[in-house]
């Protein structure tokens, strides 16, 4: 293949996503975005009241309303070893995990990996995933895009932590419960 042809193919491939952008934006109606600045203190919650799932504490860092429902970010603190979510998948959200402190085992699809501070992994929509700390409590930053019903899930799960990892409860929030986490201790 000649150099000119390769250059043309590379240029055309680079322009294809840009050419599709107006179409994609037209297909996704924008939700209202919060125009105000919302600083959140270290360890603080966007709304001033942290949440708990019984095995960890959660702080909302970026609310769904701040981004027109495009992004929701939470800080997961004091996540205890052997704890974590049931094995599940999101129909519409990609879920990104960043380990801030500790070591965390992840299962994404059929693969298991262990990540330490400063490492991250993506749980793509439609792919089963779960996680749990190894050895000591962990600290994670988790982003969900688009936000969907996930902020409401965590609000409601905090009010009823005993239901948070159950099939009926999770399925209400466009999350498919697939079974108990393989990391849960008997």
Domains of the chain: 51-179 (2.60.120.10)
**Is pLDDT larger for residue 92 or for residue 28?**
92
**What is the share, in percent, of the chain residues with pLDDT greater than 90?**
68
**Among 2-11, 17-26, 43-52, whose mean pLDDT is lowest?**
17-26
pLDDT at res. 35:
73
Cα(40)–Cα(7) distance, rounded to whole angstroms? Answer: 46
Which H or E run contains 154?
helix 150-159
Full-model pTM: 0.80
Determine contact, residues 125/149, Cβ cutoff 8 Å: no
pLDDT at res. 18:
43
Q: pLDDT tier at 2 (50, 70, 90 boundaries)? A: low
Other Cβ atoms less than 10 A from the Cβ of 112: the count is 13
Cα(164)–Cα(86) distance, rounded to whole angstroms? Answer: 9
Q: In what order do the strands lie in the sheet with 103-108?
A: 111-116, 103-108, 129-133, 87-90, 175-179
Q: Does 15 have pLDDT greater than 60?
A: no
pLDDT at res. 36:
79
Q: pLDDT tier at 1 (50, 70, 90 boundaries)? A: low
pLDDT at res. 55:
84
Mean pLDDT of 170-180: 94
Q: pLDDT tier at 87 (50, 70, 90 boundaries)? A: very high
């Amino acid at each position: 293949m000649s150099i000119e042809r390769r250059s043309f193919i590379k240029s055309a491939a680079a322009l294809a996503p840009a050419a599709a952008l107006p179409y994609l934006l037209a297909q996704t109606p924008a939700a209202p975005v919060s125009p105000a600045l919302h600083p959140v203190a270290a360890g603080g919650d966007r709304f001033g009241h942290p949440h708990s799932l019984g095995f960890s504490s959660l702080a909302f860092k970026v609310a769904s309303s701040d981004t027109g429902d495009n992004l929701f970010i939470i800080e997961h603190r004091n996540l205890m070893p052997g704890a974590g979510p049931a094995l599940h998948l999101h129909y519409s959200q990609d879920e990104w995990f960043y380990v801030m402190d500790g070591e965390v085992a992840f299962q994404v699809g059929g693969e298991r990996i262990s990540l330490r501070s400063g490492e991250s992994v993506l749980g793509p929509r439609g792919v089963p995933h779960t996680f749990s700390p190894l050895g000591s409590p962990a600290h994670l930053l988790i982003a969900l895009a688009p936000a969907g019903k996930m902020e409401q899930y965590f609000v409601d799960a905090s009010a009823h932590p005993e239901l948070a990892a159950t099939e009926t409860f999770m399925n209400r929030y466009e999350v498919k419960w697939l079974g108990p986490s393989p990391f849960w201790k008997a």
